[in-house]
Amino acid sequence: MTGRLAGRTAVIVGGGQTPGATTGNGRAVALLFAREGAQVLVVDRDLDSAEETAELVRQEGGTATAHRADITVESDCAAILDAALASLGHIDILHNNVGIVPAGRTEDLPADSWRRGFEVNLTGMWMTCKYLLPHMRERGSGAIVNISSMAGLLAGGETIAYTTSKAAVHSMTRSLALEYAPHGVRVNCVAPGMMDTPMGVDAVARAGGVDRAEVAARRAAMVPMGHQGTSQDVANAALFLASDEAAFITGAILAVDGGFTLRSHHV
């Protein structure tokens, strides 16, 4: 590794992992950031999962601490700041990775599912930013990377709650970028496409009662490059946006999708 985050500290929200699933985006980011020299605080609503990620970092010689927080609870988001300052001393990077996929056509979708989608995908992300941004502003520096989805760049039929909430994440990212640019804080977004991750493949396979390999093959066939991406592709994009290599980039929505959004008009 090249030490692109040497001396930096990073809060990875959603850094745990679904038990028994392939490596997801949050864990991949935590591991890569640590390999590049960052000290990390791994935040997840499942403390055991967060601790597992932190232990993987430590096994590789990195520095990591685990912290439990449910980002839909405002007091938990406020406590992330205290935990980060206690374990890291200061905060250079905030990585927001939590998301769910409410599914259903408009006429069938329960209002509670709509609200829950926005609560997790948008409001929780906004609250982590709300409580960590003042610290970054006072320091005059910082980088925030929000994980969204290519769904936010497309129209959604039976995923209207998901696509709409992700489009809102894009708008929020740009608004935060504009608001905090004068204070030296950059805010960008990664929009993954068809990824071979627990949310992208495992959850779909379980919901449909079909083989995981079948779901993976179907998704791969939809991508112009002919294959799905991986959590490492997302982590690499997040590393770039968090590093000094992106020092003059803010408000960007970076699609990591193998060209999917170049020819698709709905998801």
Cα distance between residue 236 and residue 137, in whole Å: 26
Amino acid at 130: K
**Residue 30 domain flag:** yes
Looking at residues 234-253, what average pLDDT do you find? 98
Task: Give the residue carrying structure tokens 């493949």.
Answer: 201
Residue 202 confidence (pLDDT): 76
* Contact criterion met (CB below 8 Å) for 83 and 59: no
CATH number of the structural domain spanning residue 91:
3.40.50.720
- Half-sphere exposure of residue 68: CA atoms within 13 angstroms, side-chain side: 5
Is residue 19 scored above 90 in pLDDT? no
**Residue 56 domain flag:** yes
How far CA 154 is from CA of 14, 134, 179, 197, in Å, comes to: 24, 33, 26, 20
**Residue 52 domain flag:** yes
Question: pLDDT tens, 114-147?
Answer: 999 999 999 999 999 999 999 999 999 999 999 9
**Residue 203 domain flag:** no
**Residue 162 is a catalytic residue:** yes
Total domains in the chain come to 1
* CA-based radius of gyration for the chain: 17
* Catalytic pick among 33, 131, 162, 260: 162
* Contact criterion met (CB below 8 Å) for 129 and 77: no
**Residue 64 domain flag:** yes
**Residue 267 domain flag:** no
Question: What is the residue range of 244's domain?
Answer: 9-193+229-254
**Residue 204 domain flag:** no
Residue 93 confidence (pLDDT): 98
**Structure confidence at residue 208 as a pLDDT band (50, 70, 90):** confident
Looking at residues 203-224, what average pLDDT do you find? 83
Tokens of 241: 């946006």
**Residue 46 domain flag:** yes
